[in-house]
Structure 1
Amino acid sequence: MTRLFNDPAAFADEALEGFAAAHRDRVRPVTGGVVRAGATPAGQVAVVIGGGSGHYPAFSGLVGRGLAHGAAVGNVFASPSAGRISSVARSAHGGAGVLLMYGNYAGDVLHFGQAAERLTADGIEALTFAVTDDISSAAPEESAKRRGIAGDLPVFKAAAAAAEQGLTLDEVLAVAERANARTRSFGIAFSGCTLPGADHPLFTVPEARMAVGLGIHGEPGIGEDALPTADEAARLLVTSLLGELPEGVERPDGQRVAVILNGLGSVKYEELFVVYRKVAELLGEAGVDIVEPEVGELVTSFDMAGVSLTLTWLDDDLERLWRAPADAPAYRKGSLDAPEAPRVGNAPAAEDTDDTVVPEASDDSRGAAATVLAVLNTVADTIDTHAEELGRIDAVAGDGDHGIGMQRGSTAARQAAAGAHAQGAGAGTVLARAADAWADEAGGTSGALWGTILRALGTALGDQDAPTATRVADGVAQASAGVRRLGGAEVGDKTMVDVLVPFADTLTAATATGTPLTEAWDRAATAAETAAAATADLLPRKGRARPHAEKSLGTPDAGAHSLALIARAVHGVLLDHH
């Protein structure tokens, strides 16, 4: 468990602050993460990586010459927000575009995609790439759905080394695609991890058993088996990976392979070396030529007791990139003779705005803003009350952090809304500030989606007109459409969409007939509660729960349940303020 912390909510920020202070010669803190201490050379593509905290050395420890130009860091096991990613990317940009790289998780896909759109709109060419190396998380024919685990490192390194060689943005992306297509990982675990401030792990493994096919966010494995000896563990890892060779590799004999034996937090170096001796023997028996292997903690999961094996099947170009020198705080290889380019002045934090200025608003809208603030206070109180329950539901087939993430987001939204309201902002601006704060602080999938919901409502209400029932329903309808467009989920996928769509449809139908907002909202909240309960009978087709679909039967989706709770709580506020 994590023993040394102050406020658990501040853990990720404080860890990043300490990391930057310890490595001032290599990295510089910026809003949202860190960049290299020296400037990105003019004309060089910037490779910006990122993801949630709790995985060190990934992601901040991999920033340095020969590796990433910057890392955007989110809260514990939560994707950094689009605003944080954009900030780091702007600070790292050297004039030749930015490649944003991350593991393939729903929250990261959403936030990095949004960041790329923002950067492109501002004239910075930006592309994204998700690593998909974990063979346990999807079948070969659905490899695009696989998670990114310790295979992040060889794929990140290949792209970054290509950028150092002066390749264009499209060419660097092509290198990342080739490295990813030739990288496979598989892992096992003996116990789950415990987040800062928590009194129990996200999942447990029965004594004398192991979880097979683990994730790196506390997700349980896809199965269990008897606790192995070190040699048995090595044989399972090697056999699993040799059983799925990438396209273009007909047989392992004679192939050159980069090998990573990765400890996930509590399996220490001597244990890893005991396992690696057998890994090397088995690969040798298969005729594999091992190239510069790495054994150690490279992508962790707090204190998870687990180990993963990664194989990257090299061609001539990928081998040169794998062997290329690098100098980052947590990963060094070879020798870099050329001095790092000096940084001139301070790169902009990029997303900074003047929060002391709010747009002009009508008296009607300012009055409505008071109701909006009351709603957001109630939302935060409701989440606080149910956070433990939401985490417990989420842990059945996911990583168990839904309650924590919703707490972070709703608390930040409440604070941002209170600040905007105190400055005389209208309802639209109060909701927009709350949306940005929720997305920034929560990160992850829920942060992106709730930011979208609040922003859609804010756009519908605006700062000038008095809110009407029809305008509120239009905002909820736009929120429903935005969430589906952004997340790619539809009704039946066992997500919050299963609740948001019937809620929006019921509210729209009721207000269209002239039903007062309080009554219309009551009907919609009832529809939401019914839909949330019905998700217990669904199998998840999206998100981290998808690989563990069968485990979730009988349990409602956490995001759907939290939305239904919020819908009902907001009805009480509307009754008080109508």
Structure 2
Amino acid sequence: MTRLFNEPAAFADEMIEGFVASHGRWVKRVSGGVVRNTKSTPDTVALVIGGGSGHYPAFAGLVGQGLAHGAAMGNLFASPSAQQVYNVSIAANNGAGVLLGYGNYAGDVLHFNQAQDRLRKEGIDCRSIAVTDDVSSAPLAERTKRRGIAGDLTVFKVAAAAAEAGYSMDDVVAIAERANDRTRSFGVAFTGCTLPGADHPLFSVPEGRMAVGMGIHGEPGIGETEIPTADELAELLVAKLLTEVPDGLETSGASARPRVVPILNGLGSVKYEELFVVYRRVAQLLAEAGLEAVDPQVGELVTSFDMAGTSLTLFWLDDELETHWNAPADAPAFRRGAVTAAALDASDGGELADVERSIPDATAESRAGAVRVLAALGAARTVVDANADELGRIDAIAGDGDHGIGMERGVRAAVEAATDAVARGAGAATTLHFAADAWSDKAGGTSGALWGMALRAVGDAVGDTKAPDAGAVAAGVAGAASAIMDFGKAKPGDKTLVDVLVPFRDALAAGVHAGQSLTDAWGAAATVAQQAADDTAALLPLMGRARPHAEKSLGTPDAGAVSMALIVRAIHNTFGEKSPAGNTPSNNTVLNNSVKENA
């Protein structure tokens, strides 16, 4: 259990503040994460890594000479936003472009790709490498769907060393991809992890049992076994990884003696002494298999809060990969050899006060509409705050359990931004745009990106020149659905928020087309949305982190679908004059009356 925290939603920000305060020799804070506190060689490629917080030493602990130039740091178990990735990349850029490295998770892919597109539009050469080392998360034939776990370290270390050596962007990308192709990981857990403020772990394992193949975000394992002895665990891990020897390598024969870097990674609560007992047998098994262990790593390298578990990674070397793996590095959590000390970078690192955004002119009608937008967002905040714990609970059944806290961070930021916009005389579109950017930036994760898109699409449709009418709002919802499906590639039936958004869009459009008022059309569509959210309980997830554990989610609706249904109902309650925004009894009872019956 995570015991030391203040406000759970502020945990990640406060953690970063403390990390920088204690590691100023290596890093400095920038908006969105951290970058090196030393000067890098001009006109060399910069490696910017990142992902959700909660995995230290990944990702900030890997920033320093010979390793990453910067790390974008998201909320707990949630990807950093595109804005965060962009900010860190701008601060880290040495003039020869930026390589983005991250684990292959839906939210990370969405946000890092958005940042990549923006950097490219500004003339900065930007590429990406998504790490896919976890053999349990997809079959070999679908390697591109695998998630990244402790193998992040091998890919990042090799790419960073190549960049430090002056490789071109093409060559840095090529060697990073080769390292990824030659890295395999497999993990187990004995207990789940508990997020700050949560009463229960994200998943549990029966007493005397071990989860096999779990992820680093609280995703449950793909199976369970009796808890083995240390030697039996080593045999399980090694045997699994040796079923996937990279193409072109031979493990038998007189001349064959492949070199591998073994990484036995602790996930949070397994002690170093226990890991050493396991590694003793791992070393024996590798030798018996004809492999030469090079520079073994035993310890905590990619964690998951207090999860009691471990993973084994095998990184299959060639001469060039071995050279870069062994190259000197000096980062807070990973040091080897002797680097030539670089001068401190005296620049501010980009930690500047935010520039106040200008407010475009708006008509009085649109400004009045902005007040209604703010009321709607306030209602969304109230219903999310009331149901955050339950949203996290249902998300943890087959996912990572961060949906509730991510939605809280996003909607609170959106309300704050919209409040500022309205106070400065913004119209409806500008208020929605401010809220969209704030939601996406503060929430991170897949839901942050998608809600940011949704609010922006509605803002585009209603404009700043007239009062938002039913037709414009319906067009905005349609635009939101199109943007989300185009970007996230989800479709109805995949068990995502799209399963609510599409029928809501269609019902709203039908009501408006039939001449109903916005209040009546939205109310009818909100009822359709609630039913659609309930119906996701019968679906198997085909997208995101829940996909590898699809059968576990049967009988439980999708968290993203449920939160959308809650929000559209809460917004409808602001259309009339009788109820203050977000304070009607139904806001706090919809989830309990629908989700728990299906859980």
Q: Is the 8 A contact 2:491 2:499 kept in 1?
A: yes
Structure 2 residues without counterparts, runs of 5 or longer: 580-599
| SS of equivalent residue, structure 1 residue 108 | helix
Q: Following the alignment from structure 1 to structure 2, what is the Cα–Cα distance between the partners of residues 121 and 91? A: 17
Which residue matches 2:69?
Answer: 69
Q: Following the alignment from structure 1 to structure 2, what is the Cα–Cα distance between the partners of residues 557 and 258? A: 39
Q: Following the alignment from structure 1 to structure 2, what is the Cα–Cα distance between the partners of residues 203 and 481? A: 34
Q: Is the 8 A contact 1:189 1:305 kept in 2?
A: yes
Residue identity opposite 2:236 in structure 1:
L
Q: Is the 8 A contact 2:198 2:389 kept in 1?
A: no
Q: Is the 8 A contact 2:29 2:351 kept in 1?
A: no
Which residue matches 2:515?
Answer: 514
Q: Is the 8 A contact 1:90 1:350 kept in 2?
A: no
Which residue matches 1:345?
Answer: 347
Residue identity opposite 2:312 in structure 1:
L
| SS of equivalent residue, structure 1 residue 198 | coil
Q: Following the alignment from structure 1 to structure 2, what is the Cα–Cα distance between the partners of residues 577 and 415? A: 24
Which residue matches 2:205?
Answer: 205
| SS of equivalent residue, structure 1 residue 417 | helix
Which residue matches 1:442?
Answer: 443
| SS of equivalent residue, structure 2 residue 574 | helix
| SS of equivalent residue, structure 2 residue 233 | helix
Deviations 1:311-344 (A, max 9, x none): 011111111111111110100011113x315425
Deviations 1:340-392 (A, max 9, x none): 1542533445894314x322211011000010000000001111122122112
Which residue matches 1:330?
Answer: 333
Which residue matches 2:11?
Answer: 11
1-10 vs 482-491, which moves further: 1-10
| Residue 539 in structure 1 maps to residue 525 in structure 2 | no
Residue identity opposite 2:559 in structure 1:
A
Which residue matches 1:181?
Answer: 181
| SS of equivalent residue, structure 2 residue 42 | coil
Q: What percentage of residue pairs aligned between the two structures are identical?
A: 64
Which residue matches 2:593?
Answer: none
Which residue matches 2:305?
Answer: 302
Q: Following the alignment from structure 2 to structure 1, what is the Cα–Cα distance between the partners of residues 527 and 347? A: 56
| SS of equivalent residue, structure 1 residue 193 | coil
Q: Is the 8 A contact 1:87 1:349 kept in 2?
A: no
Residue identity opposite 1:298 in structure 2:
L
| SS of equivalent residue, structure 2 residue 25 | coil
| Residue 412 in structure 1 maps to residue 416 in structure 2 | no
**TM-score of the two chains, using structure 1 as the length reference:** 0.97
Give 1:307 shift. 0.3
Q: Is the 8 A contact 1:371 1:577 kept in 2?
A: no
- 1:388/1:514 CA distance change after superposition, 3 Å: same
Which residue matches 2:261?
Answer: 258
Residue identity opposite 2:433 in structure 1:
A
Q: Following the alignment from structure 1 to structure 2, what is the Cα–Cα distance between the partners of residues 495 and 434? A: 22
Q: Following the alignment from structure 1 to structure 2, what is the Cα–Cα distance between the partners of residues 31 and 17? A: 12
Q: Following the alignment from structure 1 to structure 2, what is the Cα–Cα distance between the partners of residues 105 and 510? A: 37
Residue identity opposite 2:231 in structure 1:
D
Q: Following the alignment from structure 2 to structure 1, what is the Cα–Cα distance between the partners of residues 36 and 66? A: 11
Which residue matches 1:94?
Answer: 94
Q: Is the 8 A contact 1:52 1:80 kept in 2?
A: yes
Counterpart of 1:316 (choices 319, 323, 332) is 319
- 1:409/1:53 CA distance change after superposition, 3 Å: same
| Residue 289 in structure 1 maps to residue 292 in structure 2 | yes
Residue identity opposite 2:207 in structure 1:
E
Q: Following the alignment from structure 2 to structure 1, what is the Cα–Cα distance between the partners of residues 513 and 564? A: 23
Which residue matches 1:129?
Answer: 129
Q: Is the 8 A contact 2:158 2:324 kept in 1?
A: yes
Residue identity opposite 1:377 in structure 2:
G
Give 1:176 shift. 1.1
| SS of equivalent residue, structure 2 residue 577 | helix
Give 1:140 shift. 0.6
| SS of equivalent residue, structure 2 residue 73 | strand
Give 1:515 shift. 2.2
List aligned pairs for 1:388-403, cutoff 5 A. 388-403=389-404
Which residue matches 1:375?
Answer: 376
9-18 vs 251-260, which moves further: 251-260
463-472 vs 227-236, which moves further: 463-472
Deviations 1:31-78 (A, max 9, x none): 111100113321110000001111000000000111000001111111
Residues paired across the two proteins, number: 576
Residue identity opposite 2:61 in structure 1:
G
Residue identity opposite 1:559 in structure 2:
G
Give 1:421 shift. 0.8
| Residue 165 in structure 1 maps to residue 170 in structure 2 | no
| Residue 156 in structure 1 maps to residue 159 in structure 2 | no
Residue identity opposite 2:335 in structure 1:
R
| SS of equivalent residue, structure 2 residue 296 | strand
Which residue matches 2:105?
Answer: 105
Q: Is the 8 A contact 2:194 2:201 kept in 1?
A: yes
- 1:275/1:122 CA distance change after superposition, 3 Å: same
Give 1:435 shift. 0.9
Q: Following the alignment from structure 2 to structure 1, what is the Cα–Cα distance between the partners of residues 578 and 150? A: 52
Give 1:202 shift. 0.9
566-575 vs 208-217, which moves further: 566-575
Q: Following the alignment from structure 2 to structure 1, what is the Cα–Cα distance between the partners of residues 241 and 197? A: 36
Which residue matches 1:362?
Answer: 363
| SS of equivalent residue, structure 2 residue 136 | helix
Residue identity opposite 1:510 in structure 2:
G
Q: Following the alignment from structure 2 to structure 1, what is the Cα–Cα distance between the partners of residues 317 and 510? A: 58
Please report the RMSD computed on the Cα atoms of aligned residues, expressed in angstroms. Answer: 1.5
**TM-score of the two chains, using structure 2 as the length reference:** 0.94
Q: Following the alignment from structure 2 to structure 1, what is the Cα–Cα distance between the partners of residues 18 and 392? A: 28
| Residue 277 in structure 1 maps to residue 280 in structure 2 | yes
207-216 vs 7-16, which moves further: 7-16
Q: Following the alignment from structure 1 to structure 2, what is the Cα–Cα distance between the partners of residues 351 and 140? A: 47
Q: Following the alignment from structure 1 to structure 2, what is the Cα–Cα distance between the partners of residues 575 and 10? A: 34
Q: Following the alignment from structure 2 to structure 1, what is the Cα–Cα distance between the partners of residues 185 and 435? A: 39
| SS of equivalent residue, structure 1 residue 137 | coil
| SS of equivalent residue, structure 1 residue 71 | strand
Which residue matches 1:21?
Answer: 21
Give 1:574 shift. 1.8
